[in-house]
Amino acid sequence: MKMRPGTQTGFLLCGKEWIEGEALEVRSPWDQGLVGRVTVATRADARQAVSHAVASLRRTRALPRWKRREILEDVAAALIEQKERFAQLIVAEAGKPLRLARAEVDRTVLTFKTAAEEAARTGGESLPLDLTEGNEGRWGLVQRFAVGPVLTITPFNFPLNLVAHKAAPALAAGCPLILKPSPQTPFTALALGEVILKAGWPKEALAVLPLSNADTAWLAEKEDRIKLISFTGSSKVGWELKTHCGRKRVLLELGGNAALIVHNDWHDLDEAAIRTTHAAFGFAGQSCVSVQRVFVERSIFQTFLWKVVDHTAKLVAGNPSDESTEVGPLIRLGEAERVETWIKEAVESGAKLVAGGERRGSMITPAILTGTQPGMKVRNEELFGPVVAIEPYDDFEQAMADVNHSKYGLQAGLLTRDAGRILTAYRELEVGALVVGDTPSWRLDPMPYGGVKESGMGREGIRSAIEEMTEPRMLVMAGLS
């Protein structure tokens, strides 16, 4: 499958490609140039994909661990070999700056390598059952089995690694897989699907389907042969999807408005400001753990604020294909217009725009606000844009309360050297993970990842996802002595 501007391609269904049917144009977020055309799958195609997935379950469950590990290792090796190809696809479809796109490929390699390791060592346990009189000679065995066909739905912002965070655990667990990528970034997912098939995964057990949102909702609701749905995207769509999924197992990795606390005992404010700048504005803030709220102890507030302003002014914004670019466009013009509106609403309500906030097409210059209040959208909602609010605090307890004053709870960051404050924050902050010594944007792909409140349910991260995609089955042995 060759990708070039103006190419029409199909979707992967049992290792085949179709080019008939309705074609969706994919255009660059940077200059609206045509990336390519992809055929939109129909409900009939989706139903066929589920039928093939169900029929392949016995085969994928029976794949020996060494074979699953080998497939996953071969995918990782192919990604290393094709790193530039995948990076260029990500730049073209998502508008992600090239250096960040290359970093995403590197992360995806780690994701598949970790899954290969977990495929080989994820096991069960033996249990003694002769614990009461009359049960002599009894013992038990617990093993984990693939839950069944898995439907995964992924967003645009990490079009390779977020697909990998669903595909790699599914392969390790032995689950047939149906991938529904974002309509803005289908080619990266299709290219990864080809790599997975070439590595030896059964062709009947993989489909990459560019479905419409309506048909995806229909598939999730009506197709009971799907046993698990894993969704990454907005909170509104994710929770709505869950209400229609019946008895299916549902994993949700949703939104956030990540907060960082900077206390006055932190030893390197300059480095903290650099990390905050990149965590807030990298990929134009289009990450669910992009730093959106920063609470700084008052005695160091002005120093920290102006360090962030200075470092922000040095960021290179522009064409994502350029090697030096750090901040590219938002994914769509409408999203840039929304972010611009939220900034203006905050200023009209009393906030101060310290830097940036100007829109040119889909580009927003990195914006720094202060004087924001909890009722403002820039504090309450997920911005998904290059905007950060930096506010002072006098009391650490109040700073924690400000972090918790959110309907989201994905990750938070804390910069302090005080062990008591660290342990208090770990206990009190309502988040899926607390990152001490760095921003909440930090993530290592093998670690458990997910949130509380409206930020989701369940956990990603390879081992956690494998556990979600499998179910324990008990074998009781009696009377064999």
Q: Hey, which residues are catalytic here?
A: 253, 288
The H-or-E segment that residue 360 falls in is strand 359-360
The CA-based dihedral angle spanning residues 374, 375, 377, 379, taken in that order and rounded to the nearest 10 degrees: 0
CA 328 to chain CA mean position, Å: 19
Q: Measured between alpha carbons, how far is residue 81 from residues 62, 177, 188, 208, 400 in Å?
A: 29, 24, 15, 22, 45
Q: How far apart are CA 279 and CA 262, in angstroms?
A: 14
Q: Taking the CB of residue 453, how many other CB atoms lie within 10 A of it?
A: 18
SS3 67: helix
> Of 298, 268, 304, 324, nearest to 438 (Cα)?
268
Hey, what are 352's tokens? 């101060």
β-bridge mates for residue 39, sequence order: 23
Q: How far apart are CA 378 and CA 372, in angstroms?
A: 8
Q: Could you say which DSSP state residue 349 is in?
A: T
Angle, alpha carbons 178-184-185 (nearest 5°)? 55
Residue by residue, what is the 3-state secondary structure of 196-217? HHHCCCCHHHEEECCCCHHHHH
> Of 369, 365, 371, nearest to 326 (Cα)?
365
